C-alpha cells in the first residue's frame, strides 16, 4: 500500500473553524475518499500548520486522479479556501506530496 503525506497552512485564528468543518465533513466527501482507495487518513495541526497522512490501497496515482476529476473535491476546496492556504500540484491537482525520509516498522 502506497503512503501519501502533505502539508498546508491555515489562516491564523481559523483553527477552531478548520476543526469544526472536518468534524462535520460531508458524507459525499467521505464516500469519494473511500472510492479513491484512501485508508487510514489523519490530519494533524500544530499552530497554523497542517500535516496530512493517508494510505492508498489502489495507489497514489489512482487516488490523486479520482480526486482531481471530482466536482465534490472542487466544491470542498471552494468551501475551505477562506481558511486554508494550500499550494496544489499543477500536474496532479492534489497537495504536493511530501518526501518520506524515515520509517520505523
pTM over cut 0.75: yes
Which own/partner pairs from 9-12 qualify as long-range (CB within 8 Å, at least 24 positions apart)?
A: 9/48, 9/49, 9/50, 9/84, 9/85, 9/86, 10/45, 10/48, 10/50, 10/83, 10/84, 10/85, 11/48, 11/82, 11/83, 11/84, 11/85, 12/48
22 is catalytic: yes
Task: Give me the catalytic one of 11, 22, 34, 81.
Answer: 22
Question: What burial letters (b/e) apply to 25-46, b meaning 16+ CB within 10 Å?
Answer: eeeebeebbeebbbeeeeeeee
Identify the pLDDT of residue 11. 96
> Taking the domains of the chain in order of start, what are their residue ranges?
2-85
What is the mean pLDDT for each group of 10 consecutive residues in the chain (105 residues)? 94 96 97 96 96 96 91 94 87 80 91
Q: Which CATH architecture has domain 2-85?
A: 2-Layer Sandwich (3.30)
Residue 16 is placed in which grid cell? 477552531
Amino acid at each position: 500500500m502506497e503512503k501519501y503525506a502533505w502539508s498546508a497552512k491555515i489562516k491564523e485564528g481559523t483553527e477552531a473553524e478548520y476543526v469544526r468543518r472536518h468534524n462535520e465533513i460531508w458524507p459525499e466527501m467521505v464516500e469519494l475518499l473511500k472510492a479513491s482507495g484512501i485508508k487510514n487518513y489523519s490530519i494533524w495541526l500544530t499552530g497554523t500548520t497542517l500535516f496530512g497522512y493517508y494510505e492508498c490501497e489502489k495507489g497514489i496515482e489512482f487516488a490523486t486522479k479520482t480526486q482531481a476529476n471530482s466536482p465534490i473535491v472542487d466544491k470542498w476546496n471552494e468551501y475551505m479556501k477562506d481558511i486554508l492556504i494550500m499550494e496544489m500540484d499543477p500536474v496532479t491537482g492534489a497537495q504536493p506530496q511530501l518526501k518520506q525520509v524515515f520509517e520505523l516498522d
